[in-house]
A and B are shown apart, each in its own frame.
Chain A
Amino acid sequence: MSGEESAKDRKTGWLDNLIITKRMLGIALIALGMVIVIGTFAVDLFGVGKWGGIGPSQRLAIAGGVLIALVGVTLIPLGDRPA
C-alpha cells in the first residue's frame, strides 16, 4: 500500500470503506427475525394485547420474523459478495 493510499484511508475512516456483504446482511436479518419473534412473545409477558395466548397479529408477526430469519440464513452462503 502506498503512503498516499494509507493517508487517504486514515482520512476517510473505516465506515467510508465499509461494504455490506450478503453474509453481513444475512446475519443482520437473522438477528432482526429473532428480535421480532422474541419481541412478539414478550408482548404477552407485559400483558399487552386483547387476546389470551397468541393472537392473530402475533401469529402474523412471528411468521414474518421467521421468514426474515430464513431469508437471512440463505444469504450467508453467498459470502463476501456485496449486498
Chain B
Amino acid sequence: MSISAGNAKPNPLDLILLWLGRILMGLAVLALVFLFVVFVILAINLIQFPFDYDQGEGFELWNAVLFSQGRWIYTDNEVYPFYSSLYGPVYPLLMTPLVALFGPHIAVGRALTFAVTLICGGVIYSIVYRETHDRLMAVIAALLFFASNFVYQIGALCRQHMTMVMFDLLGVALIARAVEESDNRRAHRYIVLSLLCLMLAGFTKPLALAAVLAVFAFLFLRRPKWAILYGIGFGLVVGLVFWLLNVATGGYWVTNMITANTNPFVTGQAELFYRQWFSLHPVITILGFGYVLYTIYLDRISVYSLYYLAAVAFGALSGKWGAGLSYFVDAIVAACIGTGIGLAVLRRWLQSRPRKRRPDQPCWKSIGLTAYGIVVPILLLVQFRANLHMPLDLPLTRPVAALLNIPSESPNRFRQDYFDTVGYTQLGHLTTDADIEAGYQIVEWVESTPGPAWTEEAMLSLLAGKDEVVTDPLVLYNLYQNGNLDVSEMIRMIDAQEFGIVVYRARFYPIPVLQAIEENYGLVDQIEMNGFVYDILLPRTDVD
C-alpha cells in the first residue's frame, strides 16, 4: 500500500483514493452550491411578492416609512393608531433612504436583507481566507452558512435579524484585525470601527450582546488595559444614546424596547430549539467546538471561539415566549468560521508532518492526508443532507428530490410543494401567482372600505393606500400580557365601528380587543393566501 510508501511514485491505490477524495469534494461543493442557488431562487421569488410572507415584515417597512416622514416609531400604544415598534431603529433607518427612493414596497426591505446576508457570507469567506490562506475552505465556510435552514428562511425577509448578525460579524472581524495590528494608531482605528459595528448591532436587536461580550472578553485576554478603557467608553456612549432615545420619545423607547419585549420564559422551548439547531447542523456544530477546544488548549483563544461560545449560550434566550430559531444564526455563523479555519489548520498540520524515515514504517502524513481528503467531503455531504430544503416543483430541484428520495406528499408539511429538514415550517416555500392574486383580492376589500383599516398585516393597509397602519398586534399582545396596556380607547373606536374593515390572519390581539371586534364586526369573506386563511370582517351594521 503506497500510502505507506513515502516519497515513492504513487501506486494505483493512491491515485484511486486521491481521485475519490477529489470527486467527493467536488460533489460536496456542488451540493452546497445547490443550496445556495435554492436560496437565491427564494430571494428572487420573495422580492417579487408584494405582501407579508412572514408576519411582521410589513411593520418593519412601516417603521421606515414613519422615519421617512420624520416620525418616531416608539409611541403611545394606547392612542390611535395604537402603533409602536419593539425593535431597534437601525434596520428601518437603513431602509429609510431606499423607501424614499423606491416607495414603500416590501421588496426594498427584502432586497436589503438579501444583500446583508450575502455580505455575511462574504465576511465569513474573508475571515477564513485571511486566517488560513485556504481559498477552498473559505468558500466552503461561506457556503455552509448559506446552506443553513435558518439562514435560508430569514435571509431574504424584511426583518432585522440578519442585519444584527452582519454588524456582529463585522465587529468580530474588525477586533481580530485590531489585535494583530502592530501600529497602535491603526489598531485603535479598528477597535473604534468594531465597537461602532457592535453598537449598530445592539441598536438593531439587543441579542447582539453575545457578540459584544465575546469581543470585550477577547480584547481583555489580549489587551486588558484597552478592554477596560474601551469598555467604559462603550458603556457610556451606549448608555447616552439609550437615554437620548428615551428622552426624545417621551419614554416610549423603554416601554416598547424593554417592557414590550419582557416575555415569560417557556420551559422546554429553549431545549427544543437547541435540539433542532444541533440536529440540523451536526457537522459544523461539532467541528466548530473542535476548533474552540483547539484554540483553548493548543493555541491562543480566538475571538471566533469566544463568539461561538457566547452565541451558543445566548441561544438559551430562544426559550423566551415569541423567540425563534433565528436566535441561533450567530452560533451558525461562528460555527462556519470555526469549521473553515479548523479544517484548514488540520490540513496544514497534516502537510507539515515529516515523511517516514524507514521504508518499513507507515507514512502517517500520507495516511492522514488521504483520510482527510475522503472524510472531510463526506462530512460536508452529511451536513448538506441535514440542511436539505428545496421547493419541489422546479426543474432544477425535481431531479435532486428524486435522487434523494424526497416524498412528494407529507402530512408534516405546511406546503406540499416544499421540503425542509426542519419539518413543519411556515417559511421557505415559494409564493405563487395564485398567492399574489389572492393578496390583491384582500387589498380590494380594504380599498373598498372607508376610514382606517384594522389589518393584522401592515402590507394590506399600505397597498390599499391607507394613511396609517393600525397596531402591531405583537406589541399590543405583549404589553397587555405584562399589564402595561390600557385598551379602552381602541375598544371605544371598535365599538363605534370607526374602522372600515378588520382583516385577521392569526387573531393575535389582547382578548378584550378580540371580544369587541367579535361584537361589532361580522365575517364576510375568507381568502387563502400563502397557506394562511385571512378573515375579512365588516361592521355588523353593514353586514346585517
Residues of A at the B interface (CB closer than 8 Å) are 13, 15-16, 18, 20, 25, 56-57, 60, 64, 71, 74-75, 78, 82-83
Contact = CB atoms under 8 A, between A and B. Distances in A.
Contacts of B300: 82-83
Contacts of A64: 313
Contacts of B313: 64
B267 A18 contact: no
A20 B220 contact: yes
B224 interface: yes
A56 B224 contact: no
B224 A75 contact: no
A15 B221 contact: no
Contacts of B267: 56-57
B221 A25 contact: yes
Contacts, number: 26
Contacts of B224: 15, 18, 20
Most buried by A among B222, B296, B316: B296
A83 B219 CA distance: 11
Given A20-B220, A56-B267, A78 B225 contact: no
5 contacts: A13-B225, A15-B224, A15-B225, A20-B224, A57-B267
Given A16-B225, A20-B222, A57-B267, 13 more contacts: A13-B225, A15-B228, A18-B224, A18-B225, A20-B220, A20-B221, A20-B224, A25-B221, A25-B301, A60-B316, A74-B297, A78-B297, A83-B301
B508 interface: no
B440 interface: no
Contacts of B228: 15
A57 B301 CA distance: 29
A13 B225 CA distance: 10
B225 A57 contact: no
Nearest to A83: B221
Chain B interface SS verdict (over half)? helix
Contacts of B225: 13, 15-16, 18
Interface in B315-368: 316
Nearest to B267: A56
B265 interface: yes
A45 B228 CA distance: 33
A49 to B, nearest CB: 11
B159 to A, nearest CB: 28
Contacts of A13: 225
A1 B63 CA distance: 63
Nearest to A14: B225
Interface residues of B, number: 14
Interface in B213-239: 220-222, 224-225, 228
A50 B224 CA distance: 40
B296 A75 contact: yes
Nearest to B313: A64
Interface in B281-302: 296-297, 300-301
A60 B317 CA distance: 13
Contacts of A82: 300
Nearest to A78: B297
A64 to B, nearest CB: 8
A18 B228 CA distance: 13
A28 to B, nearest CB: 10
A20 B217 CA distance: 11
Contacts of A56: 267
Nearest to B224: A18
Interface string B117-152: 000000000000000000000000000000000000
Nearest to A12: B225
- Residue of A18, A60, A64, A83 ringed by the most chain B CB atoms within 10 A: A83
Contacts of A25: 221, 301
A63 to B, nearest CB: 12
A71 B292 CA distance: 12
A56 B221 CA distance: 33
A57 B270 CA distance: 11
Contacts of A83: 221, 300-301
Contacts of A60: 316
Nearest to A56: B267
A31 B467 CA distance: 58
A56 B316 CA distance: 13
Contacts of B296: 71, 75
Nearest to B225: A15
A36 to B, nearest CB: 12
A42 B382 CA distance: 45
B303 to A, nearest CB: 12
A24 B437 CA distance: 65
Contacts of B316: 60
Nearest to A51: B267
Given A75-B296, A78-B297, A82-B300, A57 B265 contact: yes
Contacts of A15: 224-225, 228
B302 to A, nearest CB: 11
A20 B301 CA distance: 11
A78 B300 CA distance: 12
A64 B267 CA distance: 17
A74 B316 CA distance: 25
A10 to B, nearest CB: 15
A24 B316 CA distance: 28
Contacts of A16: 225
Contacts of A78: 297
A74 B222 CA distance: 20
A36 B224 CA distance: 23
